[in-house]
Amino acid sequence: MSILVYSQKGKQAIDSIIARQHDSVKTKKVSFNGYPYVFYTPETQAAIGAGGIILFYTKRSENLRPSKVGFGAYYTSNNQYKFSVKPSLYFNSNNIVVNMPVSYGYRLDKFWGIGNETVETGTEPYLRQDFEFELEVQVPPVLLFSDRAGLIIEYKNTDIVDPKNNEFINNGLVNGSKGGNIFGLGLNLIWDRRDNLFYPTSGHYQSIKFIVHPEPSDFVYTTFELDARYYKEFKENQVVATNLYVKSVGTNAPFYELPALGGQNRMRGYFLGRYRDQTYVMLQGEYRQYFWKRFGFVAFAGIGDVGEEIIDLSINELKYSYGGGLRYLFNKKEKVNFRMDIGIGRDGNTGIYFGIEESF
């Protein structure tokens, strides 16, 4: 009798688990979130645009992570524009990942020269047009010890539309002053133990990327990139995130492909590319908290610098960045935030940034 009772209870428990899993899988539907926006950044000036994200599952599997297609387009007060689509697809219990970002844009960029002590002269602006495509397929490694190994193919075309009064570009003092085509083949090793793709509260993520740019590229060089992130939840809805980033390129890289300090994800507050050189090292931290319903805030700070080599970096010359921002949780199920950040750098550099998902 006791065996029959145990078996019946066991069957009921199993049926309950299956039912919950079935209900969970059934809820995995396609979701779309879009929004119009206006913003201002050091790179674009005032701008108006629209963006969004589509979330879906390639298979109704309990442990499969959501795939996404992020997209955006904007037009600025100084006649810049950009269109971008960023698919990221998960298959086979997260063992296969396909990333395929594509973008096309026309912008007024700035170049101050190479090094960590460049100065403002008023001749930095120039006009450029870019098309970028990358295909990365991540699969379980055979001989390597990472969670996944990514095979990368990339293509970039940059056209220097108008050098304006930029002395470095006008006089051909830097590599890439006329633009060109870049083809890349690479390998990416990924360790991904985050508990959530869009708003991690625990775990870590590491990526080590190596890309070669052989002929028929107009520029033959190599790129190395390290991106390490760690997340820790101390109390409910209170998360601390840290990020170490290192990037280094070979001597023949065009000036616009040199590692760039600044932008909306790292060293917020600086114009993207305010400082460029062959090597870039950055460390940042961010405190994240929801304070009321779907609203939250962040506080962040970072240090970093560029140099010809890592040994050239000096503590006395490190750049710093700090600031804060607001968050709105527009997709509660997948924890996707709309964000607005204000970053402040050294010498009065500031920037305001809008976007979907966290900066890292």
pLDDT in tens, 215-270: 999 999 999 999 999 999 998 889 999 999 999 999 999 999 999 999 999 999 99
214: buried, middle or exposed (CB in 10 Å: 19+, 13-18, 0-12)?
A: exposed
Instruction: Give the pLDDT of residue 25.
Output: 43
Cα 258–Cα 262–Cα 268 angle in degrees, nearest 5: 165
Range of the domain at 136: 30-356
Cα 194–Cα 196–Cα 198 angle in degrees, nearest 5: 115
Instruction: Give the pLDDT of residue 345.
Output: 93
* Within a domain: 60: yes
Instruction: Give the pLDDT of residue 37.
Output: 75
Phi, psi of 337 (to 5 degrees): -105, 150
pTM of the model: 0.85
Instruction: Give the pLDDT of residue 358.
Output: 95
Instruction: Give the pLDDT of residue 23.
Output: 42
Instruction: Give the pLDDT of residue 21.
Output: 41
Instruction: Give the pLDDT of residue 33.
Output: 82
* Within a domain: 287: yes
Instruction: Give the pLDDT of residue 22.
Output: 42
332: buried, middle or exposed (CB in 10 Å: 19+, 13-18, 0-12)?
A: exposed
Q: Are 229 and 208 in contact (CB under 8 A)?
A: no
Instruction: Give the pLDDT of residue 96.
Output: 94
Q: How far apart, in whole angstroms, are the C-alpha atoms of residue 42 and residue 262? A: 10
* Within a domain: 13: no
What CATH number is attached to the domain comprising 73?
2.40.160.50
With a cut of 70, which residues of the chain have pLDDT below it? 1-28, 39-43
Cα 176–Cα 271–Cα 71 angle in degrees, nearest 5: 85
Of residues 314, 317, 337, 335, the one with CA closest to residue 325 = 337
Q: How far apart, in whole angstroms, are the C-alpha atoms of residue 13 and residue 289? A: 37
Instruction: Give the pLDDT of residue 42.
Output: 66
Phi, psi of 19 (to 5 degrees): -65, -40
Instruction: Give the pLDDT of residue 28.
Output: 66
* Within a domain: 206: yes
Instruction: Give the pLDDT of residue 14.
Output: 37
* Within a domain: 222: yes
Taking only the tens place, the pLDDT of each residue in 90-124 is 999 899 999 999 999 999 999 999 999 999 999 99
* Within a domain: 117: yes
* Within a domain: 64: yes
Instruction: Give the pLDDT of residue 16.
Output: 45
The tally of domains found in the chain comes to 1
Scan for tokens 């209870």, then name that residue: 9
* Within a domain: 2: no
Instruction: Give the pLDDT of residue 15.
Output: 45
